């Protein structure tokens, strides 16, 4: 028997068998159709050679599936469930060790950085005195700030344009 992965059933006029007809034929083979549906499928089988071939192929496939040997499990269900839970527990423990090991490594790196001699930028340093005193200019700004006129009209004239508009018609 050859296997055709591009199997697309066709009716006698060459048009593809639609999904509804295929589904109804499958239900007919499974014995789950109503009386009207059984009569419809029987009419197709009586008049359409392609539906007859499709019926034969589906019947053969159904028989082969029913005759296929059922594999015997090598482990009991209880053993399988216990094995799955043991694997889950093992992975959780391993994940805990990884996180714990990462935290321990970070702690060791931090401790080593604190005790390293020299000015590596890793150890905390106390503030050092500055050679010049810090001067804060509160009342005397470093940059001169120009005085601006208080009225909006004068402000527009300073910017080179007039802010007062006349009525435009």
22, exposed or middle or buried, with CB in 10 Å at 0-12, 13-18, 19+? middle
**7-16 pLDDT per residue, tens:** 445 554 544 4
What is the percent of the chain with per-residue pLDDT over 70, rounded to a whole number?
Answer: 64
| pLDDT one-digit tens code per residue, 109-154 | 877 777 776 555 555 566 666 666 666 666 777 777 777 766 666 5
Q: Is the pLDDT confidence value at 76 over 60?
A: yes
Q: Is 15 helix (H, G, I), strand (E, B) or coil?
A: coil
Question: Do the beta carbons of residue 163 and residue 153 sit within 8 Å?
Answer: yes
Find the range with the poorest average confidence among 46-60, 75-89, 129-143: 129-143
What are the sequence ranges of the domains in the chain? 19-67, 72-115
- For the cut 70, the answer to whether the pLDDT of residue 67 exceeds it is yes
3 has pLDDT over 50: no
Q: What is the pLDDT of residue 42?
A: 93
CA 84 to chain centre: 26
Give CA–CA dist 90/85, Å, rounded: 9
Residue 35 has pLDDT above 70, yes or no: yes
Give pLDDT, residue 60: 93
């Amino acid at each position: 028997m050859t296997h055709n992965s591009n199997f697309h059933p066709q009716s006698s006029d060459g048009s593809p068998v639609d999904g509804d007809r295929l589904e109804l034929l499958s239900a007919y083979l499974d014995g789950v159709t109503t009386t009207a549906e059984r009569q419809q499928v029987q009419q197709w089988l009586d008049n359409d050679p392609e539906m007859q071939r499709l019926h034969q192929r589906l019947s053969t496939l159904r028989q082969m599936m029913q005759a296929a040997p059922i594999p015997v499990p090598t482990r009991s269900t209880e053993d399988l469930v216990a094995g799955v839970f043991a694997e889950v527990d093992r992975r959780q423990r391993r994940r805990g060790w990884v996180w714990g090991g990462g935290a321990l490594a970070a702690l060791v790196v931090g401790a080593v950085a604190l005790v390293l001699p020299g000015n590596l930028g890793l150890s905390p340093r106390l503030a050092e005195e500055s050679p010049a005193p810090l001067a804060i200019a509160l009342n005397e700004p470093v940059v001169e700030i120009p005085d601006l006129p208080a009225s909006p009209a004068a402000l527009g004239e300073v910017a080179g344009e007039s802010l007062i508009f006349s009525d435009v018609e």
